[in-house]
Structure 1
Amino acid sequence: MAAKAKCDAILMIGFGGPTRADEVRPFLDNVLRGRPIPRERYQEVVHHYDLLGGRSPYNDLTMRQAAALRAELEKKGTRMQVAVGMRNWQPYVADSMRRLANGGARRVLGFIMAAHRSEASFGRYQATVNDALAALGEAAPEVVYPETWHDHPLFTTAVASRAREAYSRLEFPERSRARLIFTAHSIPLAMAQAGPYVEQLTESARIVAAELGIDTWQFAYQSRSGSPRDAWLEPDIKETLRNLDAKTALVVPIGFLCDHVEVLYDLDIEAAQVARDAGIRMERAPTVGDHPLFIEMMASIVAAYAR
């Protein structure tokens, strides 16, 4: 196995989110970047944020993950700067990369906060990093990325642990009859066919289900945002719930690493209402967030690149 390139710092790279109500519209404008989204859909998404207090917890939760990672690295005796950069909101990737470069970092581990790779979840973040490096010119550090970790045993065990938290809210007879449904963000079918996204999601779900001792499970997608004329990954979680041949559903959002708006609204409000209308009890597992095993996984990956 080839030796890992030794790094001075890690940059956790995330989507980003508005931290207060007056940031919601500028944030959405930034995300959309001029794409022709119908005004009704734009207002609908603004309303989603309104229902959740006019902000997203994404930045706060990612900063908690970063703080936990720093503590774990310190415990392991690994010395490395830990920074956070967002693609769509402050702290932007470009600003965080500049601060790392100014602080003397010459090689940075770019840890994109997505377990499953597609153009939307990985490629676009690499492009954002490349733009930041180009802006820095000769002062730019080198950036390397870890290998995929969707099947890392600490990640899948952390997901299984979160699923058990949801199972614990069910009485035993109901627990044994609950249908296990994994979810992830839908993407255009053409994009999915061009990368390993579906294969990696399926592998993660299979490993988690096996750890839970469950043979029968389903996969559904959520949070579609594109033109209805385009083919996206299906089935949608709402249709899955409407057609479910069970009275209890345990939903595990394996494609998300923290409980941001697309989990808190799309699952906890929208999908939960569909389940109630269908006479189904739906329990949603927490995302991995700062679960100790997930943080331990990140630290073990980072340690392999530490000087």
Structure 2
Amino acid sequence: MLNMGGPSTVPETYDFLRNLFMDGDLIPLPFRRIAAPLIAKRRTPKIEKQYSAIGGGSPILKHTELQGARMCELLDELHPETAPHKSYVAFRYANPLTRETARRMKEDGVKRAVAFTQYPQYSCTTTGSSLNELFRRGRAGEMGDIEWSVIDRWGTHSGFIEAVAQNIEAALAKFHPSTRSDVVLLFSAHSIPMSVVKRGDPYIVEVSASVNAVMDRLGYSNPFRLVWQSQVGPAAWMGMHTGEAVKGLARLGRKQAVLIPIAFTSDHIETLYEMDLEYMQEGKELGMEMQRADSLNESPVFIRALADITTQHLRDYSAGAIGPTSVQMGLRCPGCENMTCDQQKHWFARAGRS
């Protein structure tokens, strides 16, 4: 289960930030090996305060482990041919890091594995970066002899869409029936640098597809917008920014809104701090009535969706109906100049064989 991760305790914040800024797939920095530790050190006190404000660390590991365990329980029933199933968490920037998970898998003697991104929508800054790191560990022999296949995107899967829609309906139910249909739905996703967008990254269109699928499920019951959060640094990032959108709605007289995490499946700092403590508070100070749709966390509908996605993948792969990777995963961004991406895609297309 591949994800960005987050520091489980406040003292882990610096290491998390350093790992994040060291990742050229996510944030292209000049002189990265020198700049990344310096930027991380400068930002650490501020981010430590944010993690302290949400309870002393990120809960994303707890949620991911629970989701994985319950998914595997369902998988044992849905696809007994490959049982027993076991989930491993491989975070990109926080413990358990991919290299640690690689060692565990080798020690456990794993021979068949599915790299299952926990980012519903594909971006080379998220799923691509995690797969690049997994490829580096696999090529180096750190995981032993494993046959791999990949679930690289699932942002329009019916179970995922249903889980998100149900949480939106629960948030809308908190508004008075007479004004409920006027409530603005603000779908908020982690932004990416415009340099990434311009090279042809599919993330923007895939997040948009998720939003439209949710709205279709809701019968387009409310006005809605897709906005972007969590920009870092002075470079241009995809907008409009979520906080600015909240201010704009208030200025235009739209006084009711629901914030919806559409690219985050578990609570972490972007939902618990940015959404709950920044944007929600900004809205209330501007006289708005705000709700935040819950993250998917322990949603049984969502966990069943994870199991259904994996079951279908295992069945199709075993039957030869699909290869180790999707057709879409094999296409590099038209402006890609990262040769690791090319090598990674070919490696997974051979089921992780050298």
User: What's the TM-score, normalizing by structure 1?
Assistant: 0.89
1:157 Cα deviation (Å)? 0.9
**8 Å contact from structure 1 (residues 134, 140) kept in 2:** no
Out of 281, 291, 303, the position equivalent to 1:283 is 291
**1:237-285 deviations in whole A, cap 9, x for unaligned?**
1110111031101111101011111111010001112112221111110
Distance 1:289 1:85 in 2: 17
**8 Å contact from structure 1 (residues 241, 274) kept in 2:** yes
Match of 2:105 in 1: 100
Q: Does 1:27 align with 2:16?
A: yes
**8 Å contact from structure 1 (residues 166, 285) kept in 2:** yes
1:297 Cα deviation (Å)? 1.9
**8 Å contact from structure 1 (residues 56, 261) kept in 2:** yes
Out of 221, 224, 232, the position equivalent to 1:217 is 224
> How many pairs are equivalent?
294
Match of 1:83 in 2: 88
**1:89-168 to 2 correspondences below 5 Å:** 89-136=94-141, 139-168=144-173
**1:59-74 to 2 correspondences below 5 Å:** 59-74=61-76
SS of the residue aligned with 1:252? strand
**8 Å contact from structure 1 (residues 163, 252) kept in 2:** yes
Q: Which runs of 4+ in 1 moved over 6 A?
A: none
**1:170-189 to 2 correspondences below 5 Å:** 170-189=175-194
SS of the residue aligned with 2:136? helix
1:77 Cα deviation (Å)? 4.8
Relative contact order higher in (CA < 8 Å, ≥ 6 apart) = 1
Cα distance change on mapping 1:289 and 1:25 into 2, 3 Å:
same
Match of 1:43 in 2: 45
1:50 Cα deviation (Å)? 1.7
Distance 1:53 1:287 in 2: 17
Of all paired residues, the percent bearing the same amino acid is: 28
**8 Å contact from structure 2 (residues 137, 143) kept in 1:** no
**8 Å contact from structure 2 (residues 156, 213) kept in 1:** yes
Cα distance change on mapping 1:265 and 1:147 into 2, 3 Å:
closer
Distance 1:265 1:125 in 2: 24
Cα distance change on mapping 1:198 and 1:105 into 2, 3 Å:
same
Residue identity opposite 1:63 in structure 2: E
Out of 281, 291, 297, the position equivalent to 1:273 is 281
**8 Å contact from structure 2 (residues 51, 57) kept in 1:** yes
Cα distance change on mapping 1:53 and 1:109 into 2, 3 Å:
same
**1:185-241 deviations in whole A, cap 9, x for unaligned?**
01101212321111111111011112112253101101111x22x211000011101
**8 Å contact from structure 1 (residues 98, 136) kept in 2:** no
1:28 Cα deviation (Å)? 2.5
Residue identity opposite 1:16 in structure 2: G
**1:130-161 deviations in whole A, cap 9, x for unaligned?**
12213326824232212521111111111101
1:165 Cα deviation (Å)? 1.6
My pick for the range that moved more, 62-71 or 261-270, is 62-71
**1:99-145 deviations in whole A, cap 9, x for unaligned?**
22333322310001101111212111011101221332682423221
Cα distance change on mapping 1:302 and 1:62 into 2, 3 Å:
same
Distance 1:222 1:49 in 2: 17
Long gaps (5+) in structure 1: 1-11
User: What's the TM-score, normalizing by structure 2?
Assistant: 0.78
Residue identity opposite 2:260 in structure 1: V
Cα distance change on mapping 1:196 and 1:77 into 2, 3 Å:
closer
My pick for the range that moved more, 35-44 or 251-260, is 35-44
Distance 2:181 2:259 in 1: 14
Cα distance change on mapping 1:70 and 1:189 into 2, 3 Å:
same
Residue identity opposite 1:198 in structure 2: I
1:95 Cα deviation (Å)? 2.3
Distance 2:284 2:42 in 1: 26
Out of 13, 21, 26, the position equivalent to 2:2 is 13
Match of 1:198 in 2: 204
Residue identity opposite 2:67 in structure 1: Q
**1:186-265 to 2 correspondences below 5 Å:** 186-193=191-198, 194-214=200-220, 216-225=223-232, 227-228=233-234, 230-244=235-249, 245=252, 246-265=254-273
**1:67-125 deviations in whole A, cap 9, x for unaligned?**
21122113325312222221222222222233223333223100011011112121110
Long gaps (5+) in structure 2: 23-32, 319-354
